[in-house]
Amino acid sequence: MVPRDTFAELYDYNWWARDRQLEACAALTPERFLRPVGGSFLTVRDTLAHLLGVEWLYLERWSGRSPRALPSSEEFPTLEPLRVRWDEVERDSRAVLAGLTDARLAESITYTNMKGESKTFPLWKIFYHLLNHQSYHRGQVTTQLRQLGAAPVPVDYGRWLDAHKEEKLDAPAIPLAAWKELFAYNHWARDRQLAAAAGLSQENLLRPLGSSFSSLRDTLVHLAASEWVWLSAWRDHSPTPQEREQFAPEKFADVAAIRDRWAEVEGDLRDYVADLQADAPARPFTYTNRKGQAVTFTLWRLFYHLLNHQSYHRGQVTTQLRQLGAAPPQVDYYFWLSERSVDPEQARVAGAPKGAPRRISREWSGKRSSAGCPRARTDAFRGLPAACKGGDHDSSAGPAPTLRLQLLGPRPAAPRLRRPHRGKVPPPHGQ
């Protein structure tokens, strides 16, 4: 379970990132604010309205109500009324957070979703789902800004940490058991997107689209490389330039090559987490950032940074898939939770693209077995090239090579509403 004070901090980050993106969007002309560019939602206005609407939706659910539709994006012809309404939702959400206790977060909440279905989940998982959802669509806003010729701003959690490193950040750690679940979700979402991308031609896989990374191939490689570079840091490994070049995008001819390498990273990451002591997420980890500064944060914050980063770029993968004419799968944490309440095979068939392979992730209950992913060589990690950097963030690519590990001890054995969208854009996640 995630403690209340930790959620309070993570929601502070969420609204900090929102404010930075709204400032970037303020530079758009009214015409570009409403210009269709494609994505889960066609325009910047529509994507921002969805972000606002979902925060309002969950505020209503936390308050015991079950709306059947989101506010219409047409209520926000310009940025200013959207900003004003979002400030109101933030104010009311902060009041809800202030009244919560850790005990309440561990309890379940039942609501009726927009399809009229009754859903019950632990409250803390719903709070986490919303944070994850917002990061995903912020990635899409960045892509839309780039494609409109505007300059996006960095909104990584790592940037928020850098901005607050002089403050006393003492929120309790998210427990190790929760991280095992969240890493399992991360790779479930990865598998679904790789399955969707596998049906594209090489021409489309490499086609420049204009995002944080030029092509879908480059974005997928960056996601895999980011997991590797943080894992190597946590293992106190400093990759050489030659090792980093093995993650140059041009080294990967197709989705299968990306999937195979990523499976190795996942297996190593699973082994690493399985070896951690229960109190490891609360222990300090020191690394040297890209400015040459030694920075220390508790490990759970770096876990959150990585998974938040992955959700952000998954949103961009979805936009790229749509713009290439492919059907992206649902990858919300909400859907991962829902799969675990029905037959797994039915859930896979219902949610994955037609003809998709079975997912390559295995449960994160411990180390992988001999039937799991192939073990990467421990003497030659593959790494991240200097060229693999997103213009809208810098900490996502991981720490600089000089690292100091301080972690492991001995290893243990109510606005106006509309009906959900019924056109080509899917309804808001069927939540």
Question: pLDDT digits over 348-374, tens only?
Answer: 333 344 444 434 444 555 565 443 433
Question: pLDDT digits over 292-334, tens only?
Answer: 677 889 999 999 999 999 999 999 999 999 999 999 999 999 9
Query: Is the pLDDT at 204 greater than 50, yes or no?
Result: yes
Q: What is the mean pLDDT of the chain?
A: 83
Residue 4 amino acid letter: R
Q: What is the largest CA-CA distance in the chain?
A: 61
Query: Is the pLDDT at 45 greater than 50, yes or no?
Result: yes
Domains, in order of start, for the chain: 4-155 (1.20.120.450), 176-404 (1.20.120.450)
Per-residue model confidence (pLDDT) at position 26: 98
Query: Is the pLDDT at 209 greater than 50, yes or no?
Result: yes
**C-alpha 269, offset from chain centre:** 17
Work out the angle between the directed axes of helices 216-234 and 255-275 (0-180°, nearest 10).
Answer: 20
For residue 221, give the nearest of 202, 196, 249 by alpha carbon: 249
Range from 12-16, 164-168, 244-248, 358-362 that averages highest in pLDDT: 12-16
Distance linking the first and last C-alpha atoms of the chain: 21
For residue 260, give the nearest of 330, 307, 198, 211 by alpha carbon: 198
Per-residue model confidence (pLDDT) at position 364: 55
Per-residue model confidence (pLDDT) at position 313: 98
Which helix (H) or strand (E) is 119 found in, with range?
A: strand 118-122
Per-residue model confidence (pLDDT) at position 288: 67
Question: pLDDT digits over 128-167, tens only?
Answer: 999 999 999 999 999 999 999 999 999 999 999 989 877 8
Confidence grade of residue 237 (pLDDT, cut at 50, 70, 90): confident
